[in-house]
Chain A
Amino acid sequence: QKEVEQDPGPLSVPEGAIVSLNCTYSNSAFQYFMWYRQYSRKGPELLMYTYSSGNKEDGRFTAQVDKSSKYISLFIRDSQPSDSATYLCAMIVGAAGNKLTFGGGTRVLVKP
């Protein structure tokens, strides 16, 4: 079983809809959580970085962490065709000296 599970999709939504993405993890020692966006044939781009449980908002993006359930989510409001990409969650145990563990990514398609 993988440490981080993420539905590969594709997730297809109409423009303007809310996109809901999530990851589950098994290692309760993970403390830092990130979401990356990757366009086709490009490198991943950091979207959100969170540490504590709860919500963090940045523009149209909201990241949610529930450490008790080992579950993280990313919500994209008012989705645009330019949001069509693969979204990867990533997490790490502590800070110095550890490696990031990535989910497999969810492909999102926003249709105009």
Chain B
Amino acid sequence: EADIYQTPRYLVIGTGKKITLECSQTMGHDKMYWYQQDPGMELHLIHYSYGVNSTEKGDLSSESTVSRIRTEHFPLTLESARPSHTSQYLCASSEFQTDTQYFGPGTRLTVL
């Protein structure tokens, strides 16, 4: 069973608010990822990190930012939330050798 956690699980917030989605893993994985997924749709990679102080943008352009100060923690921040940011955000991590990704339960974000 994967030890990767996301908080909050659900968030409803007004337009213009700053929000941070938390992701933590206790497996000591070097690589971490953020995906965006609308209901019934594909996963889209928006950010990834290969280790502390490493962050890269993914395949899908996103207005969010990430940081990787500690191996186990990979938070995602939206400076000013908009209704177009309404989606499910999934965090994942993987070992450097195998790249098998383990996913967290997701954060379902609704921006009014």
Contacts and interface: CB of A to CB of B under 8 A. Distances in A.
Interface of A: 32, 34, 36, 41-46, 49, 88, 90, 92, 95-100, 102, 104-105, 107
22 contacts: A32-B99, A34-B100, A34-B101, A42-B106, A43-B92, A43-B105, A45-B2, A45-B103, A46-B2, A46-B100, A46-B101, A46-B102, A49-B98, A95-B97, A95-B99, A96-B96, A96-B99, A97-B50, A98-B99, A99-B45, A104-B41, A104-B42
Interface residues of B, number: 27
Contacts of A41: 88, 106, 108
Nearest to A45: B103
Interface of B: 2, 6, 40-43, 45, 48, 50, 58-59, 88, 90, 92, 94, 96-106, 108
A34 B101 CA distance: 9
B105 A42 contact: yes
A49 B48 contact: no
Contacts, number: 54
A44 B98 contact: no
Contacts of A36: 103
A44 B103 contact: yes
B66 to A, nearest CB: 15
A42 B101 CA distance: 15
B101 A100 contact: yes
B37 to A, nearest CB: 9
Contacts of A42: 105-106
Contacts of B88: 41
Interface centre among A45, A49, A100 (most CB of B within 10 A): A100
